[in-house]
Structure 1
Amino acid sequence: MYTFLLHFHSINRWLVLVMALLVLFQSFAGWQNRRAYTKGNNIVHAIFIGLVHLQFLTGILLYFVFSPVTQQIFNDFGAAMKNSSLRFWAVEHTLGMFIGTVLAQIGRTASKKATSDVLKHKRAFIYTLIAVIIIILSIPFGIINPETRPLWR
């Protein structure tokens, strides 16, 4: 189960990022060109949020149940905090993804509640952009963290 979830988590990150780019492109264009917020915009945003939540759920399962890395961390949390690699998985990756997920969801909710189409696009763009920046920084690409993982598993 661990291997399946890890591979799924790895592949789904690309789906999340692709859908995030679509949301950003559509919402920025809609905001700047004062376009109507269409059913298509809504569907793309909903798919993005669904994939983000699926990714977070998969990550939680890996973190608390299946990952041998987090089992090692939980065995001696104090020692793990002194190791930059283990600290990344124990705190930084998890916290960054949590914050990114929450911001993406807030953006979806705020966008849906907006009173005008332009405001819907604007809120979708701003919240999604901030969420995606945090998510990208928290992915183990070695950008601001010591960890790197294969681009494809």
Structure 2
Amino acid sequence: MYNFLLHFHSINRWLVLIAALIVIIQSFSGWRNHSPFTKGNNITHSAFVGFVHLQFLTGILLYFVFSPITQQIFNDFGAAMKNSTLRFWAVEHILGMFIGTVLAQVGRTASKKATTNELKHKRAFIYTLIALIIILLSIPFGIINPETRPLWR
């Protein structure tokens, strides 16, 4: 189960990133061009949030149940905090992803509740961009953390 979830988590991250980029491009264009917020915009934004939630759920399962890395961390949390790689997995990765997930959902809700098309696009753009930045910083690409993982499993 661990290998399946790890591979799924690795593949789904690309869906999250692609959907985020599509939402950002669509919403920026719609905001600047004063375009209507179409059914397509709505579907794309929903898909992005859905992929984010699926990614977070898979990550929670890995974190608390299946990952040998987090099992090692939980055995001696104090020692893990002194190791930058273990600290990344114990705290930084999950916290960043939690914040990114919350921002994606709040952005979706704020966008849906907006009263004008321009405001819908603007909120979708801002929240998705901030969520994407935090998510990118929290992915083990070696950007702000010592840990790197393969781009594709």
What TM-score comes out, normalization by structure 2 length? 1.00
Counting aligned pairs with the same residue, the percent is 83
Distance 1:42 1:124 in 2: 10
CA distance in 2, matches of 1:94, 1:48: 19
Partner residue, 2:84: 84
* Aligned counterparts, 1:1-153, within 5 A: 1-153=1-153
Using the alignment, how far apart are the partners of 2:31 and 2:45 within structure 1? 15
Mapped to 2, the partners of 1:21 and 1:131 lie a distance apart of: 11
Distance 2:103 2:151 in 1: 25
Deviation of the 1:91 alpha carbon: 0.2
RMSD of aligned C-alpha atoms?
0.2
Q: Which runs of 5+ in 2 are unaligned?
A: none
Partners of 1:94 and 1:102 lie apart in 2 by 12
Alpha-carbon offset, residue 80 of structure 1? 0.3
Report the CA distance between 1:31 and its aligned residue.
Answer: 0.1
Give 1:57 shift. 0.1
- Deviating beyond 2 angstroms after TM superposition, the runs of 4 or more aligned structure 1 residues are none
Partners of 1:62 and 1:43 lie apart in 2 by 28
CA deviation digits over 1:7-45, x for unaligned, max 9? 000000000000000000000000000000000000000
* CA distance in structure 2 between the aligned counterparts of 1:39 and 1:94, rounded to whole angstroms: 32
Alignment TM-score, normalising by the size of structure 1: 1.00
**Matched pairs, number:** 153
- Structure 1: stretches of 5+ with no match in the other structure: none
CA–CA distance in structure 1, aligned partners of residues 91 and 146 of structure 2 = 13
